Amino acid sequence: MGDIVYKHSKIFLPLAALLLGGALSGCASQGIAQNAELAAKPLAKSQSRVKIFRADTTLASAAGARVKVDGREIAEIDNGGSTILDLAAGKHEIVVDNWQHPNVFKLDLVAKPGMMYVLEITPREEAAVAGAMLGLVGMLAEAAANENGGVYSIRVVEEKRIS
């Protein structure tokens, strides 16, 4: 029985990896094309442009980072991925989270017209250590101790005038 499983796994695993890789690359290239199209468009006078990218790291690399702006989900960004969107000038609440953690990380962005903001999502080491050392109990304790918590953090790394 073990020989049969081993023999078939030599065929099945590379095929599964190829199919999964093809499916994922199709999704990624579509997102890149949409981002490039928006980035090439002129910015409306009352708008600001926001690029959100996720650092390409080993820590928390398998889990997607869900991003919400003003309560509306705009993207789930994988490791090394990004998205671009235009927002009306004014105050916006940007939240990043993941289904595996009971807490979220919030950033208040006061967007000015004609500005480009680049935001970076990175894994929070505190959450990873708590979860790795104490499992669910550690994540719950870490979440209770931090109002701004969760698997990821988000911060502004660049802002510049583009129009």
Question: Mind listing the pLDDT tens digit for each residue in 53-99?
Answer: 998 866 666 678 999 999 999 999 998 999 999 999 999 999 999 88
Kindly indicate the confidence band of residue 146, based on its pLDDT and cuts at 50, 70 and 90. Answer: low
Pairing type for strands 105-111 and 90-97 reads antiparallel
Residue 8 scores a pLDDT above 50: no
Average pLDDT over all residues of the chain: 75
- Walk across the sheet containing 72-77 and list its strands: 72-77, 65-69, 90-97, 105-111
The confidence score (pLDDT) of residue 3 equals: 52
Q: Which pLDDT belongs to residue 123? A: 86
Distance, in Å, from the CA atom of 120 to the CA atom of 19, rounded to the nearest integer, reads 30
What integer pLDDT is reported at residue 158 of this predicted model? 96
Query: In this predicted model, what pLDDT tens digit does every residue of 9-63 receive, in sequence order?
Result: 444 434 333 333 333 333 333 355 567 788 788 899 999 999 999 988 666 666 7
Q: Output the CA–CA distances (angstroms, integers) from residue 53 to 106, 121, 122, 146, 154, in the order listed.
A: 16, 6, 9, 24, 9
Task: State the CB neighbour count (10 A cutoff) for residue 153.
Answer: 20
Dihedral sign for Cα 127, 128, 134, 135, please: positive
- Torsion 26-32-36-39 (CA) sign: positive
